[in-house]
Amino acid sequence: MSDGPFAPPDASASIRKVHDFLTVGAAAPLQQAGAIALELRKAINQKLAETYLVKRDRMLGILNGAGFRCFKPAGAYYVMTDISDFGFADDLPFRATS
């Protein structure tokens, strides 16, 4: 079997272009939703931010209570933890115990 292209480039150019747009571009409904979200009133966005803060702080409390050392995010809701106190060098063996 060849390591090269399986179809001549001139015959597959359109297919490759469509594939690129399908795998990298956001779907039209998602783009529309994003545009609408940008137009929402400031109060709605503020309420959403407050809701995320409550959920983030709740999760931080749960994780800290379970012995995790957490890094409190300043601008996102992703919470990173340090698991070294549990005796694991990385997350793969740690996940295998759960």
pLDDT for 19-45, tens place per residue? 777 777 777 888 888 888 888 777 788
Q: Counting every residue, how long is the chain?
A: 98
Cα(45)–Cα(12) distance, integer angstroms? 45
Q: What is the pTM of this model?
A: 0.52
Cα(14)–Cα(27) distance, integer angstroms? 19
91 pLDDT more than 60: yes
Cα(98)–Cα(59) distance, integer angstroms? 18
Beta-bridge mates of residue 71 = 80
